[in-house]
Amino acid sequence: MASLLWPMLAQIVLTCALYAWLTVARAAAVRSGQVDFASFVLGRDEPKNVARITRNLGNQFELPVIFYAVVVLLVALGRVATIDVAAAWIFVAGRIIHTAVQTLTDDVPLRGRVFMINFLALLVLVGHVGLLALAGVGR
């Protein structure tokens, strides 16, 4: 069971690292005179490099929320399988690649293809939870 917690913690570390990167990028944009702090109120006037990080950070509270939920369910039920651990690491690796593509390039089609890695890995985890629910586990 504990082995499934490591990819979840890795996803949390990725999110925290994005917060740190965004803070540094915003401060640099203000210091360089590109914008003032008021530009970050709604994020509409952010420089492109900062906006990419902002958007990616927002993405960390979309699909990964489902990832966290299914990981917690599998651990709580004591039903973690090897396939779950593999899928969780694939999910996290996909999120890291997705972050790199989204924050460093304008290649939206590539970002979509990389997103599918995350999505398919998550479907494996959700599918396992679904099978457990059908089997009556957790009643």
Model confidence over 113-124: pLDDT tens digits?
Answer: 999 999 999 999
CATH class, domain 2-134, is mainly alpha
pLDDT confidence band for 126 (50 / 70 / 90)? very high
Cβ-based neighbour number of residue 62 at 10 Å: 8
Q: Is-contact 36 30, C-beta < 8 A?
A: yes
Single pTM value for the model: 0.93
Contact between 124 and 83 under an 8 Å Cβ cutoff? The reply is yes
Domain ranges of the chain: 2-134
Task: List, for residues 68-86, the tens digit of each pLDDT value.
Answer: 999 999 999 999 999 999 9
